[in-house]
Structure 1
Amino acid sequence: MSQTLPETFRLRAGNFNLLVLRLLDPRPEAVLPALGDQFRRAPGFLRFAPIVIGLGDLEASPDEVDFRGLIEGLHALEIVPIGTSGGQPAMRQAAQAAGLPPLRAVGGRDAEEAPGPVPAAPVPEPAAAPLPPPVEPGRPTLLVTEPVRSGQRIYAAGADLIVTATVNPGAEVIADGHVHVYGALRGRAIAGARDMPEARVFALNFDPELIAIAGFYAVREQLGDTASGRPTQVWLEGEELRFGPLG
């Protein structure tokens, strides 16, 4: 008599948004210290984050790139490299020999490179800040009325996020759409988390540890006088974060 064994797993295709580290220098000893310095300014922002190594901008021969040293260095920074995108076949083969397979997007093409988080220098406030974009019809909103505590993370998946209280240092608020903080923003705010570059961050008291839109971010040290506690809105122009007053 046959016996049906219980199902132990299922395989399904997935579609994920991943950060891409676009290599411009083949030397791990040049890349890793600079990368570590950036991530130390935003502790925990990319801790244990999966990351793709972009090879398309690299002007080097395969034997000039120490992929194994790069992998070990990224692990030491608590970043998890999972594969590569772009680059010439010989470069992809060298990376694969070190344990970084080429990733392909849905449809079989090489994974398209998306710009990873880069420091975005604050710019002077414009004389007249552009008006916020109209709210997209039908997009839901997550409303938070309690203070967001240190160590707490709130994510509005597929929605805007409205916080009517304080976002404390060490707290993180994330939205696929816009982030509104009608209180003090002292933690981290990430808008457009699923590659929505038109997303914005609005805060009545702007003093964040980190601000990010669609993968481009700036930390407190880069904000200067912008993080002065004034009502502020942040938006993205190209690959630069822009800051302007509210009202």
Structure 2
Amino acid sequence: MTAVSQTGPSIRFRGRSFMAMTLVADVPLQAWLADFDVWLQRSPGFFNGRTVVLDLANSAQNKADVERWIGELATRGVRLIGLEGVRPSMVDAGMPPILRGGRDSTLTITDVAVPAEEPRKPVEPVNMLVERRVRSGQSLVCLEGDVTIIGSVGAGAEIIAGGSIHVYGTLAGRAIAGATFGASAQIFCTKLEAELLAVDGTYRTAEDIDDVFRGKAVRVSTADETLLITAL
């Protein structure tokens, strides 16, 4: 009898990075949820299909607290991929896993000369240029730099930029700038009809945008955690 060795299909693992939105919970729970419900009414569907991490560092003392937060968000259509700021004893197998941003390390330095660390070169932005209309339901993400669109952004479309956003046309969707470079980012468009504007986490929904800016060319910036809209 001849023995035959067969090689089965190999199982492959790859490391990949994904962008997730971190939702920072606060207490008291009911007051936070009331504010969150108002925000959801103004931006329905904002969390549809999004990867969300819940930070409970200041909002959960035990497993029951964690379960309650997860349940309240689940009833509002927010699906979590992970938790931050909780102890392992507060999480079981049926909950999203605990995520950590880095690992602690210990470095022992002996009596040797240590060369001075060279200054790091600033990160060069990588910008995105789109020469077409961005249609409803489409999402463009460029976390490395600015996004420039020669065309309109339709209602229901979304633009996320690490830096600034420039729209040479009507901006009717959602524009989120400063995801990487913070408050130095701005939003420019030749005709404002936006559903949501955000710079460095400070935002306004359509209901909060003054009618005087509707249909106008504007510049959007932030200062002291306040979103500023200026007609051009």
TM-score, structure 2 length as denominator? 0.75
Aligned match for 2:197, one of 206, 211, 223: 211
Mapped contact 2:54–2:82 kept (Cα < 8 A): yes
Indicate the SS of the match to 1:197: helix
The residue aligned with 1:48 is: 49
CA distance in 2, matches of 1:137, 1:100: 33
Deviation (angstroms), 1:157: 4.9
Mapped contact 2:142–2:162 kept (Cα < 8 A): yes
CA distance in 1, matches of 2:222, 2:103: 30
The residue aligned with 2:112 is: none
Where do 5+ consecutive residues of structure 2 fail to align?
106-121
Is 1:36 equivalent to 2:32 in the alignment?
Answer: no
Greater RCO, 1 or 2 (C-alpha within 8 Å, sep 6+):
1
Deviation (angstroms), 1:209: 0.7
Deviation (angstroms), 1:33: 4.2
Q: How does 1:28-177 map to 2 (within 5 A)?
A: 29-58=30-59, 61-62=61-62, 66-86=65-85, 89=87, 93-96=89-92, 99-108=95-104, 139-177=125-163
Deviation (angstroms), 1:211: 0.9
Where do 5+ consecutive residues of structure 1 fail to align?
110-135
Aligned residues: 213
CA RMSD in angstroms comes to: 3.0
CA distance in 2, matches of 1:15, 1:151: 23
CA distance 1:97–1:35, change in 2 (3 Å): farther
- Matched-pair identity in %: 31
The residue aligned with 1:4 is: 7
Residue range with higher mean Cα deviation, 235-244 or 172-181: 235-244
Deviation (angstroms), 1:42: 1.5
Structure with higher Rg: it is: 2
Mapped contact 1:186–1:208 kept (Cα < 8 A): yes
CA deviation profile, 1:104-157 (whole Å, cap 9, x unmatched)? 112259xxxxxxxxxxxxxxxxxxxxxxxxxx9953433223322222323335
Deviation (angstroms), 1:202: 0.6
CA distance in 1, matches of 2:192, 2:204: 13
Mapped contact 2:54–2:80 kept (Cα < 8 A): yes
